[in-house]
Amino acid sequence: MCNPVTLTRHESYGLVTLFSPPVNALSQTVRSGLVEALDAALEDARVEWVLLQSGGRCFSAGADIKEFGKPPQAPVLPEVIAAIEDSPKPVVAWLHGVALGGGLELAMACHYRLAAPDARFGLPEVKLGLIPGAGGTQRLPRLVGLEAALELILSGEPIGADKALELGLVDGVADQGHTPEEARIAMAAELARQGVRPTRERTLAAASEAPLEWLAAQRESLALPASGDLSPLKAVEALEAAMTHPFTTALARERELFLECLASPQRQAKVEAFLARGRDSRSLNAGGDNTRGTTP
């Protein structure tokens, strides 16, 4: 089996390419490959910055659903994301197709993000009775603001590249039509010259003058559905942690809330329904490829 992640050096940058068809699901093999490729790029003195991209039809539709219900295998996605964000060399992500769930969380850990004009971005975890569990509730509001982050997380619906640029989720969008590789690299190199920019260190902005009161009001408006699905309320709690605790503490709290959702019977029922719908389907939808990818 070919390595799903490769590193090639081109002049002063290292090109890390993820290719694991059909939707570049973030399996253990892919996660390991990402860490190994990043380590190799950091050890190469000739590499000044890193461009992360994916082959195939999308950047990544999220976690590999085949790993659901199994013991986690190292490196887990939060470890991969931390390694990227901690890189002393700038990491720029080129995003095409979809970046959903864990795929978007991976992209948000990069220091800069560039998007193809038809790219779509989302955190659909609530559709499976979950919340983002690899920093999505912590990094997203630092990029787009508290209110927009909560709307994206609770709706679970993807947004297009232009909206992502307007919100600050991405740093640039390529021109319509085919973008030559040279143009993409030039755009990425310009961003990389600005240096490392960890997302976790960005200020968490809120449009409301009293953001905690605003969050409390949102919680009150989320009546517990008959299904007993707690994921929307857990999402609000994770964002409250982002507002009131240091990043590392809030990140740990997000993971606790994610695991609580993961253990719930409501989550299990939603995942089983998701699998049942996708058993005879190969289409890429808001939750990724129904047969391989999902969103956490």
Q: Catalytic amino acids? A: 105, 125
Half-sphere exposure of 235 (CA within 13 A, CB side): 29
Please identify which residue in the block is written with the tokens 């994301």: 81
| Cα 176 from Cα 237, distance rounded (Å) | 39
| Cα 250 from Cα 24, distance rounded (Å) | 28
